[in-house]
Every structure is written in C-alpha cells, then in structure tokens.
Structure 1
Amino acid sequence: MTRPWLLPILFLASGAVIAAGLIARGSTGEGVVLLVGFALLAGLNSPLVFPRSVSAAEARRRSAADGRPIVFWRPGCAYCLRLRFRLRRHARRLHWVDIWRDPEAAAAVRAVNDGNETVPTVFVAGRPHTNPDPAWVREQLTPDERRG
C-alpha cells in the first residue's frame, strides 16, 4: 500500500528540507517556489492523477462486458503519466490496474513483456500492447465513448 506513495512522499520530504534551508537563509520566495514545485512533482507522480484502479480480475470482467481496453500502470511511470494526460477525459473510460497493488496484474504484465514489468501495457480485446501511442488507444474506444 505504501509503495505507490513512496515517490510522492520523497518529493515532498526533499522539497520541504531544501525549502526550509532556503527560508532559514532568508530566501523565503525561493523556498516557497521550490516547495510548490516539489509538491507539483509529488502530485503528478501520485496515484491520485489516475482513474481509480481495479484488480486485474475485475478489469477483465468489466472489459469482457463493455469491450473497453485495460491499462496496466504503476505510479511514478513517466510513460503511464504521458498516456494518462494525452488521453485526457477519455482516460476514465478505460479500466486502470495498478500493478503495484495487484500481484496478479504484475504477473500478467511480466508474462507478455519477457519477464519485465513494462508499463503501460494496454490490453485490447485480450491482446497486449506495450507503451502504445495514446492516439491509438483513444481510437480503440467505440465512437460513442470517444465523443463523451
């Protein structure tokens, strides 16, 4: 449970220490700007930026029912963050699975990526696609889903 939060916590702690040092030396403005920057980095690398994760089993069940792709991701992954932001509002229409919270999901990703936990790995109609182009992922949604 703490693993997804490790990087954001480290960003906040580091930013707080450095900002405190700057403020103590009289550079209050620089310290505040630096702290805000580290807080933004923490936020971007936290699980809060992504739609709520479900288990791999639940994602498969939902995908079988509605045909939507499954995205296996993990916090701190720059490529996952890129996919999330480039999908914009369409991201919530996919089924997101955090591989750090679900050992079955991590195993599924390793099984299709030569033993590596390479993310994002997107399953469309049961076929894996490692680090696909976000525009391609958006195209995999039905026309009704792309509009709304």
Structure 2
Amino acid sequence: MTRAWILPILLVLCGSVVATGLIFQGSPVQAAVFLLAFVLLAGVNSPLFFPRSMGALEAQRRSAVDGKPVIYWRAGCKYCMRLRFRLGRRARQLHWVDIWRDPAGAAAVREVNDGNETVPTVFVAGRPHVNPDHAWLREQLSSPEG
C-alpha cells in the first residue's frame, strides 16, 4: 500500500465506524448519509480523482514535445485538489506527476523549493511555479506556446 491511499482508507474506515454506531442507535438513513459523505471525501482525496500520473522523466519528455505544463502533486494536498477543481476538464490536458509515487518527481520539486516537497509545483516551459493561480495556468494553456 502506498502513502497515497492511507488517507482515503482511513476516511472510509472512520465513516464505517460512525455509520455502524448510527445504525445501532436506530438511524439507518443518517448512517447511510454519513457513510456516503465519507466515501465521497475519500474519493476526492484519492489518486483516482486526478488524471493518471506518470513518471517525471516521461512527463518532461512529453512536455518538451507538446509544450504542455507538468504539474507535480500528491494525494491529500488541499492546494492540489483546489487547482484540479478549478482547472476542470482542462486538467486532463496537463502532465501530472505524483511525487509520492515517483522519486524523480519528488527530487525535481525539492530542487526548486529549497529542499521542500511543496506542491502543486507547475513547470511551464521549463520554469517552476509554486502553487500558481488557476486563471494564470489556464492562460498558459490558451497561449500559442503553452
């Protein structure tokens, strides 16, 4: 099991415990609502929510060919989730690298962030941008060179 799945699994387990307690108290509808909420929260915090990750070297190679940005992220990061939400369908146009799954990706992020694994770190045309504004990133996707 990788670190990326720890938080979603804990959320589902906690939701199950709460739902079980509510069922024993005679509130099956409330139990179902709580369990659904915890499952949805786990889904949003899971790697399944993000477009498929690839290795840093593959993302850099593809970015060099198509000019699209590379986003370094990790599961459970609220800033990564916010960026993903705000990009909407355009997020699938980008190259996503999960730094918890790819040591080269983690090293690339540490290199530009004074040794810290600060995400999201976005590389546009080879230049790093830490936690960029989603509107700015959308502009980069719309520009001829982005």
TM-score range, shorter chain: over 0.9
Which residue does 1:50 correspond to in 2? 50
4+ residue runs over 2 A deviation:
none
Determine if the alignment matches structure 1 residue 16 to structure 2 residue 16: yes
Q: Aligned-pair distance for 1:78?
A: 0.6
Length, aligned pairs only: 146
SS in 1 for 2:128: strand
Which residue does 2:95 correspond to in 1? 95
Equivalent-residue separation in structure 2 for 1:17 and 1:47 (angstroms): 23
TM-score normalised by the chain length of structure 2: 0.95
Determine if the alignment matches structure 1 residue 75 to structure 2 residue 75: yes
- Over residues 52-96 of structure 1, what are the superposed CA-to-partner deviations in whole Å (9 max), with x where a residue is unaligned? 001000000000001000000000011100111100111010000
Which residue does 1:31 correspond to in 2? 31
Equivalent-residue separation in structure 1 for 2:93 and 2:68 (angstroms): 7
Q: Quick one: which amino acid aligns to residue 9 of structure 2?
A: I
Equivalent-residue separation in structure 2 for 1:30 and 1:142 (angstroms): 45
For residues 92-131 of structure 1, what are the structure 2 equivalents within 5 Å? Answer: 92-131=92-131
Q: Aligned-pair distance for 1:114?
A: 1.2
Equivalent-residue separation in structure 1 for 2:98 and 2:87 (angstroms): 17
TM-score normalised by the chain length of structure 1: 0.94
Q: Percent identity?
A: 68
Q: Aligned-pair distance for 1:25?
A: 1.3
